[in-house]
Amino acid sequence: MIVKSSRFFVFLSFLLLVNLVVSTLVMAEPDEPTAPSTWDGTITISSDNGARLPSIAAAPNGKDVIVAYVSQRSADEDNTDPYYHDSSNNGATFPGNPAPINTNNSTEAIDVAIAYDATNKPHALWIEQQSNNDRQLRYANRDNWPSSSTLLSSVTSPGVIFTPRIAASGTNTLNIVWAESSSGIITDIYHARSTNGGST
């Protein structure tokens, strides 16, 4: 009887050990993927008091790359403007300093999007928040940076506008989308199109 009990406990211990090994193998986490060795080293392309919400686009010419972002212009987090920094060697370097897409001391830039058209001209779409919390959707192409812009949509507080996106198709066609709500609660997605390069 003692021999049988011993064999039973040995067998039971063996089963528990097998179960533990199998469970460990099943629950083991896969190895972390390694970054491709072909990625170049990281470089800093902003030189501001703070920078956030980058958007990037590559031109059809295969050499121009532009990054647009929200630039914090002082220690005040609400003092922001849309800025850009561009490269003419396919992103290998970003020489010089970032420059403004638009400047307005009385507004806060919330988000910005960027795109090139077929003629390699960049177009920007961004959101500004006024001092009374009203929001505006604004557009400008590089010919008008940083002095002027076109108002495309606006809402009064508590309304909101956010997530602007822009895409170019053909020489003069631009498509934009954004989220908007006049109540600030339920948003809809809106689309607008220009067939004359953003002039109207």
- pLDDT over 70 for what percent of the chain? 82
pTM, full prediction:
0.79
Classify domain 50-194 by CATH number: 2.120.10.10
Q: What is the rounded distance in angstroms from the CA atom of residue 114 to the CA atom of residue 125? A: 6
Lowest mean pLDDT among 28-37, 82-91, 153-162: 28-37
Whether residue 112 has pLDDT greater than 80: yes
Mean pLDDT to the nearest integer, 81-100:
97
In the structure encoding, which two tokens stand for residue 195, read together?
A: 């067939």
The residue ranking higher by pLDDT, 87 or 107, is 87
Q: What are phi and psi of 156, to 5 degrees?
A: -95, 150
> Which band of pLDDT confidence, cut at 50, 70 and 90, is reported for residue 72?
very high
pLDDT at residue 167, as a whole number? 97
